[in-house]
Chain A
Amino acid sequence: MIIENISRRAFLGAMGAAGLVLVVGCGKRTPPAAAQKYGADSMPHGWVDDPLVFVSIAPDGTVTIVCHRQEMGQGVRTSLPMVVADEMEADWNRVRVRQATADEARFGNQDTDGSRSMRHFYMPMRRCGAAARQMLEQAAAASWGVPVSEVQAVNHEVVHRATNRRIGYGALAEAASRLTVPSRESLRLKTPQQFRYIGKGEVKLVDGHDIVTGRAAYGIDTVLDGMLYAVVARPPVYGGKVASYDAQAALKVPGVVKVVQIPGTPPPSEFHPLGGVAVIAHNTWAAIQGRKALKITWNDGPNASYDSNAYRAAMEQAARAPGELVRNQGDVEGAMKGAAKRVEAEYYIPHMAQAPMEPMAATARIADGRCEVWTSVQAPQVTRQRVADHLKLPFEKVTVNVALLGGGFGRKSKPDYVVEAALLSQAMNGAPVKVTWTREDDIQHGYYHTVSVERLEAGLDEAGKPVAWLHRSVAPSISSTFGPNVTHESPAERGMGLANVPFAIPNLRIENPAVEAHVRIGWYRSVSNIPHAFAIQSFVAELAAAAGRDPKDYLLELLGPARRIDPRTMSDTWNYTESPDLYSFDTGRLRRVIESAALQAGWGRQLPAGQGLGIAAHYSFVTYVAAVVQVAVNEKGDIAIPTIDIAIDSGAHVNPERVRAQAEGACVMGAGNALLSEIGFKAGRALQSNFHDYQVARIDVAPRDIRVHLIDSNFEAPLGGVGEPGVPPIAPALANAIFAATGKRIRSLPIRDQLAGPGPMKAAAASTK
């Protein structure tokens, strides 16, 4: 289906203002002013559960459901409308999905990140569907002159059993549209036993057919009459500027129309463009050729000294001295002194680029004092705001149409590329201009995953059990992209597995030494959970080895008995924005995924030489995940992953088929992160440029078999996230498997050829003293 965008909606076939007056009394929830807000309530514009906003029915019975969250592969355009359809007893075969334009005041929060679309909108979408169903029932009852209690909506029609009369949704639409939306208190939600689609996993992707036939429209596929095509030469160093440029040769390239400079914003650059010189042409290829012909002198600025090797050394130095206190309990120093054995290790996790397969692209057109853009963004609202800011237009004069995203992974939460398109359309007197980022642009001008040194020290007692735990995490913060003088991880980053360590260790201290950022740091699927989980879950296995214990048993012992921990008692004030009462850290659930993954993987079984199993578990986005990776290392040091068993407890699974799909994807991305991916810098410039040197998982190195084990849960428990939490355990489970297979401990990512080299592999446990 071609993505259709809507800017105004009519409910139940009634067009225009008539439907809109019915909004009164429904819609946005206003929580008590003084109350601390959590979850969807805490997000800008919260949530909306109004059927007038989300549902319309045509006279032929076609039900159109609006999806206000952005589709980037997680299946949200299928799963959220499916929830509405289920509650309203709509026949999925007669449902169409329309994509909302950017308008949070109307639709509620649209910022698609943090693994929270289903978590935050499952209940609002259920209420939305239930309200629509009750209005249809009411309209049918009125038309028959029978009490509403005698009729029932069943699969796209309302039935009066006593007289065996039935009437379709299309015929009811007009009358239902004139009814008042039922109050939230009067809604009769289905019981889980009544679900038709929720929890079943049988609904096919709404965009599946269009995707496989090439008809699906992504942002980069936008075509407008008279459209021009642009690429931009951006400063190679973050914060750099154009000193001078010569466009003569570029303008001679056939097809090039114009060369213009666009202004940048000095660091912290937030979502603003980096600036540079744009080449506008009649097709993308001509623009690329024109850009090659540009002669630009750059003024690199202070980040020109950024060098990944030197930076790593500086981070390691910082990690070896005390830093800002994140969490402290007991007396770590004293317990370390009294320990029978001490173990320490440092882990390194490099920058990575999200590299979604659809590079960033946006098309803008300005006419009659209005700007309209077509693009693929995770965050439509801030996109609209920044376009308005840069064009000095009122917010209302900007329309943001969101197409399918060809992957996002956090990169498309930052709409700098959309602002570029708007500025270039402005430079062309409003003509439609599409900006395309080449892969080189993407790899070299990114919002990179942070780079991190994680130092861990533990003191063990005679039995090998930790009595003291010290963790120092050093990593430039995402907050540095948004504000000046940021040198520490934010509460959110600390809440991603750094502060909220659930281990039953009496003496525990976590510190965060200072470090400055020299590139734009941004969200990358799973974010800071990646380095924190890699270090902690590797270190636990290192301790198990030092204690001569089985790593799985040791991990369970560290977790201690099943209990619910208030995140605030672990100095985690963020808790993925969720209520600490509703979403406490349940070590029992973490234990259960560990036991499940281990059982399914046949933990403890004998494997041929060169093979091993590794386990890791991590709680993120209020979901519990454990993975057992099976690895096979040959005599050359080549690494293969025959199997991953991944167990997930994210509460009830609304669309279990897509939960499985996301877990599979997380295993692949996690393996690619661990094995291959790294962005390094020298003289402030990214060293990689395309997929030959910025490597990601391909089919031949990806895990061959991925077995996803969903932990069943009932629909009473609050939902957890799904898109991201599968990633963090994969890298440490792989490193632990490699240790089991070869005796070699991986502490620096990516693994690449660290196992290559002559001679037999030696067992190398963590350094002890």
Chain B
Amino acid sequence: MPKQSPVPDKLDQAFYAAANEERLVIQHCAGCNRYQYPPEPACYECDSSDQLSWRQVEGHGTIYSYAVVYDTPVASLQPDEPFNVAVINLDECPGITMLSHLPGTPSGKVPIGAPVRVVFEVTPATGQKVPEWQIADTDSCR
């Protein structure tokens, strides 16, 4: 569904550049062997930026929870109310979560625990792509 276009900045431009190539990359600290998202200037664990890099992940996840939004102050989302917003656990990055509108899943019909896979969606204002998540066909995606 249409959403605001995120404006990349120094901190997350690699994330959004990869999204435009339909790749999901997550910040990773090699020293701590730890992923983090949203991006930070330094590893939250060791407070160092020396061993931070971007790692591409395949984009498999699981629905952790959700809400159905009936009232948001964001104008670009209002035409689609009520809409799902789900929390996705990234299978490859323990502890890391992302949000999703779950394209293709009817409002309120969200199966917690279901597997999902990443897709990429164009945001209208600038054409910037962002990661989204769809309930997976388990035979084809695992």
Is B a genuine binding partner of A?
Answer: no
